[in-house]
Amino acid sequence: MAQARNMNEATAHPLAEQNPQHEPIGSSDPDRGAHVLIQNLSKVYRVHEREAGLKASLGSLFRRKYRDVRAVNDISFEVAPGEVVGFLGPNGAGKTTTLKMLSGLLFPSSGTVRVLGHEPFKRERSYLGRMSMVMGNKGQLQWDIPAGDAFLVNKVVYKLSDEQFRTALGELTDLLDLGPLLKKQVRSLSLGERMKCELAAALLHQPQVLFLDEPTIGLDVTMQARIRSFIGEYNRRTGATVLLTSHYMADVVALCKRVIVIHQGRLLYDGALDALSGKIAPFKLLTVQLEDTVDTPAEPMDALAPYGEVQRNQDGQVVLRVPRAEAAAVTARLLANLPVADLSIEDPPIEDVIDQVFSGNALAEAHVEAAR
């Protein structure tokens, strides 16, 4: 498990000190000190199905067919206070369903969910007041009023004092450059501006746990980077626990030391981002360039193909994929048998690893086990 952030650092933050709801969880609690605890969690949806066409439509009036969809299938993990964990998976993997169970929007079909010592689905005010969830495609801001007015709603709903509100809003305004946006109607904000305001609204009450579901979706690269650095900064300043889903690997690489990969509702990997490649895609990429001599084969790709799977052949450079364990031996044979001008050995890019996982290739090639 990634190193938990020191809670002293969290309480040292002036905003955290002002928030009476910020209290460290004792070591004797049933959650073992974790902010998020999930055990054997499953979620099954019952969906109505019918064929296309009028006949099927009429038929479904009288006899409905249902199918059970297991969106989350027996997953378990813990998140320590202050951790930033990336939740990875393709569309329909069960990421959002899990986040919704954590935030209390969904009721689990089986298993245990505890966040900050609460069972989220009970939606106790003492829990809701200490967490926040930002959904990239579903905002909480009212469209017809200025963002500043929407923040006032949260001030009252979360029972913030004038001082707490002023300080928190001041900080968020600085960090997110909200100044020019506060008086604009939310509907007239750009997507990026709106997401900045959504984040601010979600963080005014200084939540101890933050669930972010695709917070950078649809944003341009600059705004993605901005939001990303803000989330990192917020975590550093307040020691809040963050669970983040994103389709953009850059978000995950920048923010998360630890990732949880789920696919078709099952937990595939839980561990350090750095170790993900080794666990999930046990191969290396060898980039080889041959010398331009009379002995060089006319077609370098043909000459290199027996040494590994050719991934790419461009401008005389051939990228080979070889099993991690054989990388050293293959390199030695290459150097011995061919006029190699240049050679480099690299881990595959994280995007490729994830892509392989989701397309199912890696599963066939590697025995994947959860890191813990």
- For residue 312, the cross-strand partners are 319
Closest CA to 190 of 232, 166, 226: 226
Residues in CB range of 171: below 8 A, 6 or more apart: 15
Distance of CA 336 to the CA centre of its chain: 44
**Whether 103 contacts 120, CB under 8 Å:** yes
Note whether 133 binds other proteins by CB under 8 A: yes
In the bound state with other proteins, the residue whose beta carbon lies nearer, of 207 and 271, is 207
Note whether 185 binds other proteins by CB under 8 A: yes
Note whether 105 binds other proteins by CB under 8 A: yes
**Whether 152 contacts 180, CB under 8 Å:** no
Note whether 152 binds other proteins by CB under 8 A: yes
Closest CA to 219 of 201, 256, 246, 200: 246
Distance CA 162, CA 184 (A): 22
Residue from 59, 90, 111, 139 that binds other proteins (CB under 8 A)? 139
Secondary structure element (H or E) that encloses residue 342, with its range: strand 340-346
Output the smallest distance, CB 317 to other proteins, in A.
Answer: 48
Output the six-digit token pair for 214: 């695709």
Site mask for other proteins (CB under 8 A), range 27-56, x = bound: ------------------xx----------
Site size toward other proteins (CB under 8 A) is 36
Output the smallest distance, CB 124 to other proteins, in A.
Answer: 8
Note whether 132 binds other proteins by CB under 8 A: yes
The region of 53-61, 154-162, 285-293, 349-357 touching other proteins under the rule CB under 8 A is 154-162
Closest CA to 321 of 273, 362, 276: 362
Residue from 153, 223, 250, 327 that binds other proteins (CB under 8 A)? 153
Binding stretches for other proteins (CB under 8 A): 45-46, 71, 97, 100, 103-107, 121, 123, 125, 128-129, 131-133, 135, 138-140, 142-145, 149-150, 152-158, 185
